[in-house]
């Protein structure tokens, strides 16, 4: 199944879902996560391997972190070359004063927002989806 590209379709159908738990960004030298750590995201950088992991795993492994996030998945299947979804989502969260780190997966986009404001971020995104659907008909895709 190919991902959707139409911005209005993406926004209207994004269905933000807050995953349970607290997640942190950390980095380790080399190219492997420590034993007992199961990252939900990895990014290889010159400075080391960035990991997004459940907070409890980071604490148990003695990994340093400074940002505790809630993880929101946009359930719409967006094409990797779709234009505007990240910008629209970022703008809505910016207007609400909520920081956001975006990670694109093959099927979905994932947002990491301050854990204390994660439920609020979902409400902001649900409002954006509803606003984007005003006058929308499924055959508009």
Mean pLDDT of 121-129: 97
Considering the chain, what is the average pLDDT of its residues?
91
pLDDT per residue as tens digits for the range 26-49: 999 888 899 999 999 999 999 999
Res 141 pLDDT > 50: no
Lowest mean pLDDT of 3-7, 70-74, 83-87, name the range.
3-7
CB burial string 18-33: b at 16+ within 10 A, e below: beeeebbbbebeeeeb
Tokens 């993406």 identify what position? 10
The SS3 call for residue 17 is strand
Q: Are 70 and 11 in contact (CB under 8 A)?
A: no
pTM score, whole prediction: 0.90
- Which domains, ranges and CATH numbers included, belong to the chain? 7-140 (3.30.2130.10)
């Amino acid at each position: 199944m190919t991902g959707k590209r139409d911005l209005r379709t993406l926004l209207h159908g994004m269905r933000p879902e807050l995953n349970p738990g607290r997640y942190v960004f950390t980095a380790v030298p080399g190219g492997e996560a420590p034993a007992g750590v199961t990252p939900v995201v990895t990014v290889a950088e010159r400075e080391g391997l960035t990991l997004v992991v459940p907070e409890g795993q980071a604490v148990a492994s003695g990994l340093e972190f400074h940002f505790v996030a809630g993880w929101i998945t946009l359930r719409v299947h967006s094409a990797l070359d779709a234009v505007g979804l990240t910008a629209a989502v970022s703008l809505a969260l910016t207007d609400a004063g909520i920081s956001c780190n975006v990670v694109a997966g093959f099927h979905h986009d994932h947002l990491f927002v301050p854990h204390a404001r994660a439920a609020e971020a979902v409400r902001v995104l649900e409002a954006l989806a509803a606003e984007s659907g005003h006058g929308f008909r499924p055959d508009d895709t």
